[in-house]
Amino acid sequence: MDFLTIKLQTASHFSIVFLIKRFKISQIQFSSFFYRSFFYLLHRLNMLFEEDKYRFMHAALKEAEKAFEKDEVPIGAVVVHNGKIIGRGHNQTESLNDATAHAEMIAITSASATLGSKFLDECEIFITAEPCLMCSGAIILSRISKIYFGTFEPKFGAAGSVYDVFGNKNGLEIYSGLMADESRNLLHAFFSKMR
Ligand SMILES: [Zn+2]
């Protein structure tokens, strides 16, 4: 399958990188229908990412559920280093009365405390939703090397939705769509509960 070339209608969909790695395809040429069907199938089978990525996103979702229980917007995050979770956080803007108490900020602070370092090189962050401008900045400053997020966030998302702050950031890898349905469903459940 090496001769195939990927042609995407949609803008940068980083998840495709996993397809390439997983199936050792250097380039794929799909008709957009075939591409979408294949992508959708892998997505439904939870096969789009490596297995441990689902495990870590599952832990982030557990964090999001904690936020949900406290009537906070249900977003969760975990920071992973050498295959181990070293920081966790969920959105606490209401309970702490602090607009900066986002899941990512709390997970980053907690991971830095665990490692005893302000820099989190070689760490990965798993977030149930696309990070906002503030959290994207914090991720860059903390030198986290990979971001995995679930659902896109059309109001504040800074990884392509409203802003694209990672566009020119070399070396930082971003993957979207990991357990996106689960993350989105939790957010929808929250907003219908609040209505
Ligand atoms: Zn944020």
Cα(109) to centroid of ligand 1, in Å? 13
Angle formed at CA 162 by CA 157 and CA 167, multiple of 5 degrees: 85
Q: Please say if the pLDDT value at position 170 is more than 50.
A: yes
The string of pLDDT tens digits covering residues 125-158 is 999 999 999 999 999 999 999 999 999 999 999 9
Burial bucket for residue 124 (CB in 10 Å: 0-12, 13-18, 19+) = buried
What is the residue whose two structure tokens read 């977030």?
A: 127
Tell me the pairing of strands 76-81 and 123-129: antiparallel
Residues acting as catalytic residues: 104
Cα(23) to centroid of ligand 1, in Å? 33
Cα(165) to centroid of ligand 1, in Å? 13
DSSP state of 53: H
Cα(49) to centroid of ligand 1, in Å? 24
Angle separating helix axes 103-115 and 51-69, nearest 10 degrees: 120
* Of the candidates 99, 93, 131, the residue with the CA atom closest to the CA atom of residue 108: 131
Tokens of 140: 């860059």
Average pLDDT over residues 37-61: 82
Instruction: Specify the pLDDT at position 13.
Output: 44
Phi, psi values for residue 114, rounded to 5°: -65, -45
Q: Please say if the pLDDT value at position 101 is more than 90.
A: yes
By residue count, the chain amounts to 195
Task: Give the global pTM.
Answer: 0.80
